Amino acid sequence: MIPSHLARRRLLVLVLACGVLGLAVLTEQVRAPDRRDVGWLGTAIEGALAPVVGIVARAGDLVGEGWALLHEIGTLRAENARLAAEVAQLKEENARLRPAAEEASRLRSLLALKQSEPFASVAARVIGRDPSHWFSSLLVDRGTRDGVRRNDPVVTSEGLVGRVIEVGGSWSRVLLIVDPRSAVSVVVVRSRETGVAEGLGRPLLRVTYLSRDASIQPGDLVETSGLGQIYPRGVPVGTVVGVSRPPGDLFQEAVVRPAVDLGHLDDVLILLRPSPGEPAR
């Protein structure tokens, strides 16, 4: 039997050792350039768990789909009436917007000719999420075997999702743009003012370093500027919902709602960036 004072001392040493280790790992992470580098051991553990996570996520999808089906049956009648009204309204809108759509289509074709970003892409399925409320990353089922590399941009048809921060053989971790560790060079479409969109740890972004004199209003669209070597230019990031000009500050800030519903992502597109000197993939 160990005397109680020795047991207490042993516990104290153990707790201090674990605490110091935790703090050391945390501060090392914060000092790293992109604040996330788990090393070979971390990559190996994540790689081993990724298939399990994938299987459980798929099982979860099945349960979720079954539940959604039951829920859908219950709300079908109300939904039907609402949809009928919506169809009538959309038909009318459609007739009104057709000329504008034709013009936009022509302009888009012209723009596509001008765009020369040599990106190939690979579709990926979300298999895991970070459960904490404050940081935002996803696990997807594509990795180095599919040509994915660290820092490849991730998008959906609505806009920018984030970038790959860790890659294994058949999985990758995507840092979402709303994560506090994320920073994206952006441009406000109307005023062509550039800034840096930083994650706030909740479903909003803060765009900083906007010139104090620039005209920025709620409703303005924000897209990637193409600066910074990671994200291609012209990918929608979100819409301005608020602007603040702190007194005495050289810059103004805008709060932006992301274009993509990052809380409900199932499938994403990973843009495969060509390495320097490599022809377009």
Partner 1 sequence: MRRVALYALLAVGAVVLDTTWLPRVSLGGATADVVLVLVMTIGFLHGPEVGALVGTGMGLLQDLVTGVPLGLGMLAGLCVGTGAGLVRGSIYLESLWLPAPAAWVLTVVHQVVWIGAAHLVGLLTAPVATLARVVVLGACYNGAVAVPVFHGLRRLDDRMAHHSTGARPA
Question: Rule CB under 8 A: which residues touch partner 1?
Answer: 10-11, 14-15, 18-19, 21-30, 35-36, 38, 42, 45-46, 49, 52-53, 56-57, 60, 63-64, 127-135, 137, 139, 165-166, 173, 175, 180-181, 200-202
Phi, psi (degrees; rounded to nearest 5) at 220: -65, 140
Q: Do 203 and 257 touch, CB atoms closer than 8 A? A: yes
Pick between residue 64 and residue 246 the one whose CB is nearest to partner 1: 64
CB 196 → partner 1: shortest distance, Å? 16
Q: How far is the CB of 44 from partner 1 (least distance, A)?
A: 10
Eight-state DSSP code of residue 44: H
CA distances from 242 to 176, 187, 198, 203 (A): 21, 16, 15, 14
In angstroms, rounded to a whole number, what is the distance separating the alpha carbons of residues 197 and 195?
A: 7
Return d(Cα 102, Cα 209) in angstroms, integer: 37
Query: What distance in Å separates the CA atoms of residue 21 and residue 131, rounded to the nearest whole number?
Result: 24
Looking at residue 83, what DSSP letter applies?
H
Minimum distance of partner 1 from residue 97's CB (angstroms): 36
User: What is the SS3 assignment for 82?
Assistant: helix
Please give the backbone phi and psi of residue 245, each rounded to the nearest 5 degrees, phi first: -125, 90
Contact 216, 243 (CB under 8 A): yes
CB of 24 vs partner 1, minimal distance in Å = 8
Nearer to partner 1 among residue 139 and residue 186 (C-beta): 139
Nearer to partner 1, 45 or 101 (CB): 45
Please name the residues in contact with 128: beta carbons below 8 A apart, sequence gap of 6 or more. 50, 53, 54, 57, 138, 139
Q: 35 φ, ψ to 5°?
A: 60, 20
Q: Which is nearer to partner 1, 52 or 101 (CB)?
A: 52
The residue among 35 and 149 lying less far from partner 1, judged by its C-beta, is 35
Going from the C-alpha of 98 to that of each of 84, 90, 92, 106, 109, the distances in angstroms are: 21, 12, 10, 13, 17
Whose Cβ is closer to partner 1: residue 15's or residue 88's?
Answer: 15
Report the residue number, 30 or 250, with the smaller CB distance to partner 1: 30
The least distance separating partner 1 from the CB of residue 114, rounded to whole angstroms, comes to 37
Give the residue with the Cβ less far from partner 1, 58 or 108.
58
For the bound state, the minimum distance from the C-beta of residue 60 to partner 1, rounded and expressed in Å, comes to 5
CB of 223 to partner 1, least distance (A): 25
Task: Report the nearest approach of partner 1 to the CB of residue 164 (Å).
Answer: 11
